């Protein structure tokens, strides 16, 4: 069975982003269901997979990262409103037998992601 995991990398400071609050939602038409709410650990990762086994099903998901709050807590001088604040990554799981690793690489001015394993 597959699993879904994430991590956050702070490329301003060159470190894993510890303490980033995040939520995972499953989308089904107009319905958005909260599946997990957590924060990243000292390594910028979650302590456990966000979903694994039978809980990971084919469909559309959203990961919501509170990057602006993270950078503010680190003392970064941010404009108001923040340029990068809440990052929403909408992605699809086509084969729940596979592993889906969805990392966030972020600064106060840009972000990117990719599908890892």
- The CATH number of residue 74's host domain is 2.60.40.180
Can you give the residue range of the structural domain that contains 10? Answer: 3-113
Kindly report, residue by residue over 18-61, the tens digit of the pLDDT.
999 999 999 999 999 999 999 999 999 999 999 999 999 999 99
- How far, in Å, CA of 27 to CA of 116, rounded? 21
Q: How many domains does the chain have?
A: 1
- How far, in Å, CA of 72 to CA of 34, rounded? 25
Kindly report, residue by residue over 50-85, the tens digit of the pLDDT.
999 999 999 999 999 999 999 999 999 999 999 999
- How far, in Å, CA of 14 to CA of 32, rounded? 34
- How far, in Å, CA of 62 to CA of 26, rounded? 6
- How far, in Å, CA of 93 to CA of 26, rounded? 10
**pTM recorded for the entire structure:** 0.97
Our CA dihedral for 44, 107, 100, 64, rounded to 10 degrees, sits at: 90
């Amino acid at each position: 069975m597959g699993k879904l995991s994430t991590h956050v990398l702070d490329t301003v400071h060159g470190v894993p982003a510890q303490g980033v609050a995040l939520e995972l939602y499953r989308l089904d038409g107009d319905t958005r269901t909260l599946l997990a709410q957590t924060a990243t650990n000292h390594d910028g990762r979650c302590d456990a997979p966000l979903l694994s086994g039978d809980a990971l099903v084919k469909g559309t998901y959203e990961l919501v990262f509170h990057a602006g709050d993270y950078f503010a807590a680190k003392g970064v001088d941010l404009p108001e409103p923040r340029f990068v604040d809440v990052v929403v990554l909408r992605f699809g799981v086509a084969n729940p037998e596979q592993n889906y690793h969805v990392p966030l690489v972020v600064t106060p001015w840009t972000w990117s992601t990719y599908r890892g394993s």
